[in-house]
Structure 1
Amino acid sequence: MSEIKITIAGEAHVHFAEEICSMMEQAAQQRGTGIAKRSHLYVSAKMMEGKAVIAISDNTPVGFCYIETWGHGKHVANSGLVVHPDFRNTGLARDIKAEIFKLSRKKFPEARIFGITTSLAVMKINSDLGYKPVTFSELTTDEDFWKGCQSCRNYDILTRTNRSHCLCTGMMFDPSKPAKPANKKLNKEEQWERFKRFMKFQGIKEGADRLRQKIKNKSGNLKINKSSWLSKISLF
């Protein structure tokens, strides 16, 4: 496979806009859901604003994603993620999402970054970046964002539910909420020490359980013996 270059899109990439829009439309048809239709003028504008990331191989666009802002920059969406069919399942989508996420954090450091998707692969990528699943009510209330869903074939579901849910899943990265520290990966020596501590603890626990059982058994025998002894005493 030829080398792939992922970069921030600019004026030099505007001539790829129509090809990218075609790729988005084909992807939406194949999946039967998602990816709101965009015009080549809209995609070109994102490139000119420096709000898009493009992946190129052999002077051909093979992946794309762009930034949208809502609520005066308080909310940011990484939208229109698309990868050419020949380059899927290669990790390219993950790399593009990582780059557009980095660009979003640089341009809008205080903004909440959100997205809606039906793709399990995208959900996994978002989760790795720190996104959390959220209800649609936690997303932007900007009408222009929801108008963008009108070209999706499932738009009627969204309207019937008063925008409470659809086939898409909402996910959000909130910079005001610190991420949980990742679990440290242990080397072999650390894993062995942890295992030994666990086994030692298990031994202590099992020993304590046996001791409790012995005490319980002795107490039971004592009660039986006392009862037997008392039964021999004559009562007036």
Structure 2
Amino acid sequence: MKSLDNIRVEVASEEHLKFVDDINDAIDEASKKRGTGIARRTYEYLSSKMQEGKAIIAIEGEQFAGFCYIETWQEKGFVANSGLIVREEYRGIGLAKAIKKKAFELSRKKYPNSKIFGLTTGLAVMKINHELGYRPVTFSELTLDDQFWKGCQGCVNHDILERTGRSKCLCTGMLYDPAWEKPVVNGSPIKKRSLLDLIPRIKPGLANKKNKLLNRNK
């Protein structure tokens, strides 16, 4: 049984370039097994993230255990924690959460005023994101940068994204806004949105049904 105690979770650097191919192979394997998932990146792209100090890697001895990287969009107004992958033999011990937390901290340190977002199909990742302060949002609230969405072209479900005019896919969009941590602006508290706040926009029919039931009970 693997243990977190034996794994280093740290900011990646040039010394970790030797793991790039292993990381991409792990991404491919996970995507094929699930029938969905993150798109494969080029060697040059992932290596640049390591060299720029914009990636998190988990290492046990001389073996890569997990990985994640950060990207910026719309003049650094948005930051994405992307490409989260944990090798199969290291799953179930909390490593994904440790990597996501480290990536979140790195994003907040480098870009304290940026909104942090991500796309995921994994329930476990959604739970981790929620614990970090993310909230589910519609795709329209994420970055409008075409370069970000081009990164989805390598995903097996890209045709769904195209058919829906980039409004939905199998992934769930999640967002963290640093403004939510500022309780008062000009004397008025910022309301933190919950999933219930999003229902009228995401599922208008469900919201109408709820209102009818409330009116009947008055």
Q: Settle same-fold status: TM greater than 0.5.
A: yes
Query: Where does residue 43 of structure 2 map in the other structure?
Result: 40
Partner deviation per Cα, 1:195-220 (whole Å, 9 max, x = no partner): xxxxxxxxxxxxxxxxxxxxxxxxxx
**Residue 65 in 1 paired to residue 73 in 2?**
no
Instruction: State which of 148, 164, 168 in structure 2 corresponds to 1:165.
Output: 168
In angstroms, what is the RMSD of aligned CA positions?
1.2
1: CA distance, partners of 2:34 / 2:103: 23
C-alpha displacement of 1:178: 2.4
Query: Where does residue 105 of structure 2 map in the other structure?
Result: 102
Query: Where does residue 22 of structure 2 map in the other structure?
Result: 19
**Residue 112 in 1 paired to residue 115 in 2?**
yes
C-alpha displacement of 1:58: 2.0
Q: Which amino acid aligns with 2:145?
A: D
CA contact (8 A) 1:4 1:56 kept: yes
C-alpha displacement of 1:179: 7.7
Aligned residues: 180
1: CA distance, partners of 2:44 / 2:121: 26
1: CA distance, partners of 2:182 / 2:121: 24
Query: Where does residue 53 of structure 2 map in the other structure?
Result: 50
Instruction: State which of 73, 78, 82 in structure 1 corresponds to 2:81.
Output: 78
Q: Which amino acid aligns with 2:85?
A: V
C-alpha displacement of 1:24: 1.0
Structure 1 runs not aligned, ≥5 long: 181-236
Instruction: State which of 133, 138, 147 in structure 1 corresponds to 2:150.
Output: 147
Larger radius of gyration: 1
CA contact (8 A) 1:34 1:117 kept: yes
Q: Which amino acid aligns with 2:15?
A: A
Query: More displaced, 1-10 or 157-166?
Result: 1-10
Q: Secondary structure at the match of 2:108?
A: helix
2: CA distance, partners of 1:178 / 1:10: 31
Query: More displaced, 31-40 or 120-129?
Result: 31-40
Structure 2 runs not aligned, ≥5 long: 184-218
1: CA distance, partners of 2:78 / 2:39: 18
Q: Secondary structure at the match of 1:177?
A: helix
When normalised by structure 2's length, the TM-score is: 0.81
